[in-house]
Amino acid sequence: MLLALFFMVLALCQPHLKTKEVTVERRGIDVMIAVDVSKSMLAKDIAPTRLDKVKLELSALIDRLKQDRIGIVAFAGDAFIQCPLTLDKSAVKLFLSAINPNLIPTPGTALGPAIQAALQAFNSKEKDFKAIILLTDGEDHESNPLGAARKAKEQGARIFTIGFGTTDGSTVPGESASEGFKKDRQGRVVLSKLDEALLKQIARETGAVYHRSSRGEVEVDWIVEEIRKMSQKGLKSEKMIEYEESFQYFLIPAFILLLAEMFLSERKRIS
């Protein structure tokens, strides 16, 4: 009886037996995320701030792009690659959490250099499998972003643009708490407005789409769907071990032992 119970306990542990080792290819695309960290992203027309909403959107997006390599470009008046392309989503999120306006002291919103920095992260020999996600309020009139967008198109990259802010505009915090709001040279309070027209042009130039971030819930389904429409490539081959449940091998002897115990008990009772 004890031996039967022993086999039943083993079966309840749901043991698995190794059957074979298989190679699985991960397929996806390369996605460079360009994040605007200029002072205007501290405006509060989208709560809690434009930049905080960017981080919420991206955190949800990174979780959804499980098969893709992701990297980050931070930009303001200048741009640099903060996180190279990687399949390690934990690393990407770590870099994302460190993003703040103090990363780049140069003021401004240089969309052109941001796009160029993202292009440098890609394999220049490939003419496909590339996406740039540009998250910004779009206030740029000096860095020739449309020229950079045309270059991206030539290299096979699509630029999906996401606008943060409102067209009515919002005040921007000053350099210090005592300064209040940012002012121009004439002492007038500066209003930072979302430039949707420019962001739509950039996306259209590369055959991508523009989306305006709402004040409400995080919305990433649309960008995931667009990226899934793109051609994918093999990014990494991984060896995986397939296992087969083997609890039944322990249930059978337990069942036989229980039957034998019942049979012997019945014989003893009769005799």
The CATH 3.40.50.410 portion of the chain extends over 30-173+185-231
pLDDT in tens, 237-260: 555 444 455 555 555 665 675 666
Q: Which fold, 30-173+185-231?
A: Rossmann fold (3.40.50)
Nearest Cα residue to 218 out of 136, 159, 162: 162
Place of tokens 């699509």: 158
List C-alpha distances in Å: 55 to 36, 49, 62, 119, 263: 11, 10, 10, 22, 69
pTM, to two decimals? 0.76
pLDDT in tens, 85-132: 999 999 999 999 999 999 998 988 999 999 999 999 998 888 888 999
Question: Does 53 score more than 50 pLDDT?
Answer: yes
Number of residues in the chain = 271
Nearest Cα residue to 62 out of 53, 74, 71: 71
Question: Taking every pair of C-alpha atoms in the chain, what is the biggest distance, in angstroms?
Answer: 113
